[in-house]
């Protein structure tokens, strides 16, 4: 019996080991013999997906009722947009602009919260949540933002983050609680969440604009939808992890279902929910920065306009302000998540003593705000204090351009001509049916017919939508980006696994890279290389290298020690052990890292569209500019489909390797 299994496995393995490369070579070589006309997907076979989605959006936004007897959906979306706009206005006024009650551009009728109060409160919150270190980080970060003259923009961004994050948190917890209670709802929801996590951020913006009208509410709604999945997921996960005894206690105590959820389950799941809030907040920031490009104002907008003017200094400063904001938000919400689990009692008995800090804060806020009322100038950061370094930064950028442009350009040109352009031409030159066929074959080899069908159909439907060229450009750019990320990331990961020092340093770098909104990566790249595919590729690699490093390090560290000891004792050298034992055993984890790397590369596309690539990201960007919902949705779905295919194929490969490791 076991022998039979072993034989069939080895046969199977041998079949796969030879068949795939053989088929690929035959396909590719054979295809060069085919006429050029076969390269492009036939025009006649294009399915008008884009028109269908346009019609759907038109139907959704029409002014006559969709369902007779009910008000049109527009009414609801308008009401929703109104509510959201009201919230956004309130928080933006409170943090950044002050309240205007009279029309016109005059001075604010009520000032915003004084800048020094915000810094003080944030630093205090850092101190309460994470001790002195976090207080200092917060304090210094916010001072940096203020002194470089980015205070108002940063507060606009912060206000958007607060509104979107608060709505996401409430909606996410509510939806998560429903999914926990109802199996049917959970089953309906889960594929949507999967899809939502692969759809790029931009894709939400277009339909949101159509439904909610042009303005900050649409950006905010897109942000909320984008950030919901992790919130829902961590809520469900947290609720499922509540010990069964705890929910049994609730039932014996006679809780109604509502009491059970509010008083027993959700509080017990709080630590996990708080971790979700941390993740959701960072996604919100990422999206808010991107969305501010459509004119909502804020740090992202500042960076973009500065880059357009090639004012690298201002761009860098605004970018660093984003970094500071990201680090503060991340560390504080992480510290809050850690704190949510441990409770300490307070010996003080009286109400005033127990709430002395809160009361003092309310008093200070009231007093400083009152000062701002009488002397509005004190509420705003004084212009005279701003000592921007943008002039010298621009000088620096110019120096780099003058002194480094030679070697940098040399590398860029060499790489473009030897690697990038040939790759693009090769992929672009394949007959149109080869890519769908190829993913089908790979899917069949690693998993079976179902995966083969799924992969082929998804890729084919992208071509059928008329997106063959941008899709191939996407594959070329992200494919190269992934390969380069792995080429650099895996050795770095191995180094991290072998040396504690390297592990610590790489860990800190990865942590920082992970908190940065993807937009930030663009600034140094544009500064050094201007626009084009090469810049896009570097931004992609910088962004997507993190999982390659992380998972390799993790995978090798996880290899059981006794395997290594056994190999060393049987006379292997360190290198042999690494090559023959550790790396093969770590392959499943490394493949997980590959999958994550691809996802991140794809999610970077919307950013790289800004430097003029011609991929699916550019499609969504153009759709956004033209407010063409049909085109935007289809392009967004196309990116999601590519992500799904890549993810399924790589994880099938990983499962396949796993089975091999366990059987042989």
Partner 1 sequence: MVQPIISCQDVWKVYGGVAKAGDGGACSDVVALREATLDISEGECFVIMGLSGSGKSTLVRCLTRLIDPSRGKIVVDGADITSASERDLTAIRRRTMGMVFQNFALLPHLTVLDNVAFPLGIRGIEKKERQDRARVLLQTVGLSGRENHYPSELSGGQQQRVGIARALSCDPKILFMDEPFSALDPLLRRELQDEFLRLRAKLRKTIVFITHDFDEAIRLADRIAIMKDGGILQIGTPEELIVHSKEPYVREFTRHVDRSRVLTAKTIAQPANGHAPTRYVDGDALLYQFANEVLSSNEPVGVRHQGAVIGVLNKNDVISILTSTDQKAVA
Tell me: does residue 343 bind partner 1 (CB under 8 A). yes
Tell me: does residue 267 bind partner 1 (CB under 8 A). yes
Size of the site for partner 1 (CB under 8 A): 24
Question: CA 385, CA 619: separation in Å to the nearest integer?
Answer: 43
- Contact set for partner 1, span 485-524 (CB under 8 A): none
Tell me: does residue 355 bind partner 1 (CB under 8 A). no
The span of 114-122, 338-346, 521-529, 546-554 binding partner 1 (CB under 8 A) equals 338-346
Shortest CB 362 distance to partner 1, Å: 24
Whether 521 contacts 607, CB under 8 Å = yes
Cβ proximity to partner 1, 338 vs 388, nearer residue: 338
Provide Rg for the chain, Cα atoms: 27
Whether 529 contacts 408, CB under 8 Å = yes
Burial class (CB within 10 angstroms; exposed 0-12, middle 13-18, buried 19+) of 607: buried
Tell me: does residue 243 bind partner 1 (CB under 8 A). yes
Tell me: does residue 339 bind partner 1 (CB under 8 A). no
Tell me: does residue 240 bind partner 1 (CB under 8 A). no
Phi, psi of 182 (to 5 degrees): -115, 115
Whether 641 contacts 459, CB under 8 Å = yes
Question: CA 579, CA 567: separation in Å to the nearest integer?
Answer: 11
Among 56, 166, 255, 419, binds partner 1 (CB under 8 A): 255
Question: CA 623, CA 413: separation in Å to the nearest integer?
Answer: 31
Among 13, 31, 268, 512, binds partner 1 (CB under 8 A): 268
Give the 3-state DSSP-derived string for 20-69, with helices as H, strands as E and coil as C.
Answer: HHHHHHHHHHHHHHCCHHHHCCCHHHCCCHHHHHHHHHHHHHCCCCCCCC
Shortest CB 568 distance to partner 1, Å: 41
Cβ proximity to partner 1, 173 vs 209, nearer residue: 173
The span of 122-130, 337-345, 439-447, 469-477 binding partner 1 (CB under 8 A) equals 337-345
Tell me: does residue 259 bind partner 1 (CB under 8 A). yes
Shortest CB 249 distance to partner 1, Å: 4
Among 69, 103, 254, 406, binds partner 1 (CB under 8 A): 254
The span of 238-246, 366-374, 436-444, 584-592 binding partner 1 (CB under 8 A) equals 238-246
Tell me: does residue 86 bind partner 1 (CB under 8 A). no
DSSP-based helix, strand, coil % in the chain, nearest 5: 85, 0, 15
110: β partners: 99
Tell me: does residue 344 bind partner 1 (CB under 8 A). yes
Question: CA 503, CA 507: separation in Å to the nearest integer?
Answer: 6
Cβ proximity to partner 1, 255 vs 513, nearer residue: 255
Whether 582 contacts 553, CB under 8 Å = no
Give the 3-state DSSP-derived string for 538-554, with helices as H, strands as E and coil as C.
Answer: HHHHHHHHHHHHHHHHH
The span of 265-273, 289-297, 321-329, 608-616 binding partner 1 (CB under 8 A) equals 265-273
Burial class (CB within 10 angstroms; exposed 0-12, middle 13-18, buried 19+) of 256: exposed
Tell me: does residue 246 bind partner 1 (CB under 8 A). yes
> Which of helix, strand or coil describes residue 614?
coil
Tell me: does residue 263 bind partner 1 (CB under 8 A). yes
Among 1, 252, 377, 402, binds partner 1 (CB under 8 A): 252
Please state, as a whole number, how many other Cβ atoms lie within 10 Å of the Cβ of residue 45: 11
Cβ proximity to partner 1, 238 vs 524, nearer residue: 238
Cβ proximity to partner 1, 270 vs 371, nearer residue: 270
- Contact set for partner 1, span 8-47 (CB under 8 A): none
Shortest CB 244 distance to partner 1, Å: 9
Among 3, 36, 105, 346, binds partner 1 (CB under 8 A): 346
> Which of helix, strand or coil describes residue 113?
coil
The span of 59-67, 93-101, 249-257, 435-443 binding partner 1 (CB under 8 A) equals 249-257
Supply the DSSP symbol for 97: I
Tell me: does residue 345 bind partner 1 (CB under 8 A). yes
Shortest CB 254 distance to partner 1, Å: 3
The span of 40-48, 73-81, 251-259, 441-449 binding partner 1 (CB under 8 A) equals 251-259
Question: CA 436, CA 455: separation in Å to the nearest integer?
Answer: 7
The span of 30-38, 209-217, 341-349, 489-497 binding partner 1 (CB under 8 A) equals 341-349
Cβ proximity to partner 1, 342 vs 575, nearer residue: 342
> In this structure, is the dihedral angle defined by the CA atoms of residues 52, 57, 58 and 64, taken in order, positive or negative?
positive
Tell me the two tokens of residue 612. 């003029």
Tell me: does residue 342 bind partner 1 (CB under 8 A). yes
- Contact set for partner 1, span 376-415 (CB under 8 A): none
Cβ proximity to partner 1, 347 vs 575, nearer residue: 347
Tell me: does residue 249 bind partner 1 (CB under 8 A). yes
Among 21, 341, 382, 448, binds partner 1 (CB under 8 A): 341
- Contact set for partner 1, span 405-464 (CB under 8 A): none
Shortest CB 589 distance to partner 1, Å: 33
The span of 61-69, 146-154, 330-338, 343-351 binding partner 1 (CB under 8 A) equals 343-351
CA dihedral in degrees (514, 520, 525, 530; nearest 10)? 150
Residues 6+ apart with CB under 8 A from 78: 212, 213
Which of 611, 115, 47, 93 shows the shortest CA–CA distance to 381? Answer: 115
Which of 387, 328, 329, 324 shows the shortest CA–CA distance to 520? Answer: 324
Whether 639 contacts 200, CB under 8 Å = yes
Shortest CB 168 distance to partner 1, Å: 22
Tell me the two tokens of residue 664. 């042989």
Shortest CB 119 distance to partner 1, Å: 31
Residues 6+ apart with CB under 8 A from 477: 533, 536, 537, 540, 605, 608, 613, 615
* Positions in the binding site for partner 1 (CB under 8 A): 243, 245-246, 248-249, 251-256, 259, 263-264, 267-268, 270, 341-347
């Amino acid at each position: 019996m076991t022998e039979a299994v072993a034989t069939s496995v080895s046969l199977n393995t041998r079949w796969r080991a030879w068949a795939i490369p053989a088929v690929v070579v035959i396909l590719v070589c054979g295809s060069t013999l085919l006429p050029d006309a076969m390269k492009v997907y036939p025009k006649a076979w294009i399915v008008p997906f884009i028109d269908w989605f346009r019609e759907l959006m038109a139907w959704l936004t029409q002014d006559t009722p969709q369902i007779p007897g009910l008000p049109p959906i527009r009414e609801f979306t308008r009401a929703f947009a109104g509510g959201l706009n009201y919230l956004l206005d309130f928080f933006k006024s409170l943090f950044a602009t002050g309240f205007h009650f009279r029309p016109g551009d005059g001075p604010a009728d009520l000032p915003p919260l004084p800048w020094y109060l915000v810094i003080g409160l944030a630093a205090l919150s850092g101190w309460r949540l994470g001790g002195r270190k976090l207080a200092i980080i917060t304090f210094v970060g916010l001072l940096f933002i203020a002194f470089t003259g980015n205070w108002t923009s940063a507060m606009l961004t912060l206000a958007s983050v607060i509104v979107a994050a608060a709505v996401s948190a409430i909606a996410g917890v509510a939806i998560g609680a429903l999914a926990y209670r109802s199996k049917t709802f959970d089953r309906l929801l889960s594929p949507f969440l999967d899809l939502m996590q692969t759809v790029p951020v931009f894709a939400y913006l277009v339909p949101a604009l159509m439904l909610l009208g042009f303005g900050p509410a649409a950006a905010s709604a897109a942000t909320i939808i984008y950030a919901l999945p992790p919130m829902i997921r961590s809520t469900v996960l947290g609720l499922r992890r509540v010990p069964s005894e705890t929910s049994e206690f609730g039932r014996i105590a006679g809780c109604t279902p509502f009491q059970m959820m509010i008083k027993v389950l959700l509080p017990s799941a709080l630590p996990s929910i708080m971790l979700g809030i941390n993740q959701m907040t960072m996604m919100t920031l990422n999206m808010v920065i991107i969305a501010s490009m459509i004119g909502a104002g804020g740090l992202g907008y500042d960076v973009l306009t500065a880059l357009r003017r090639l004012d690298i200094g201002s761009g860098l400063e605004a970018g660093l302000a984003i970094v500071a904001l990201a680090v503060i938000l991340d560390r504080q919400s992480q510290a809050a998540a850690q704190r949510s689990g441990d409770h300490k009692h307070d010996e003080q008995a009286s109400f005033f003593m127990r709430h002395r800090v809160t009361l003092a804060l309310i008093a200070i806020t009231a007093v400083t705000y009152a000062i701002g009322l009488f002397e509005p100038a004190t509420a705003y950061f004084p212009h005279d204090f701003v000592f921007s370094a943008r002039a010298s930064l621009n000088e620096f950028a110019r120096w780099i351009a003058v002194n480094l442009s030679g070697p940098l350009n040399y590398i860029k040109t060499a790489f473009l001509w030897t690697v990038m352009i040939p790759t693009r031409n090769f992929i672009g030159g394949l007959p149109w049916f080869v890519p769908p066929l190829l993913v089908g074959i790979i899917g069949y080899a690693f998993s079976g017919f179902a995966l083969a069908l799924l992969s082929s159909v998804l890729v084919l439907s992208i071509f059928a939508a008329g997106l063959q060229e941008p899709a191939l450009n996407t594959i070329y750019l992200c494919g190269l980006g992934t390969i380069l990320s792995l080429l650099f990331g895996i050795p770095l990961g191995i180094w991290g696994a072998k040396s504690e020092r390297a592990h610590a340093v790489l860990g800190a770098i990865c942590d920082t890279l992970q908190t940065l909104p993807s937009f930030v990566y663009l600034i140094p790249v544009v500064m050094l290389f201007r626009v084009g595919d090469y810049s896009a590729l570097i931004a992609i690699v910088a962004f997507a290298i993190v999982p390659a490093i992380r998972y390799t390090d993790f995978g090798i560290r996880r290899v059981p020690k006794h395997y290594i000891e056994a190999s060393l004792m049987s006379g292997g050298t360190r290198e042999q052990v690494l090559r023959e034992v550790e790396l093969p055993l770590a392959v499943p984890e490394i493949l997980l890292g590959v999958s994550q790397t691809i996802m991140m590369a794809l999610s970077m596309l919307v950013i790289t569209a800004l430097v003029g690539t011609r991929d699916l990201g550019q499609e969504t960007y153009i759709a956004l500019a033209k407010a063409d919902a049909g085109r935007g949705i289809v392009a967004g779905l196309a990116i999601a489909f590519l992500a799904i295919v890549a993810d399924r194929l790589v994880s099938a490969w990983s499962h396949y390797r796993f089975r091999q490791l366990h059987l042989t």
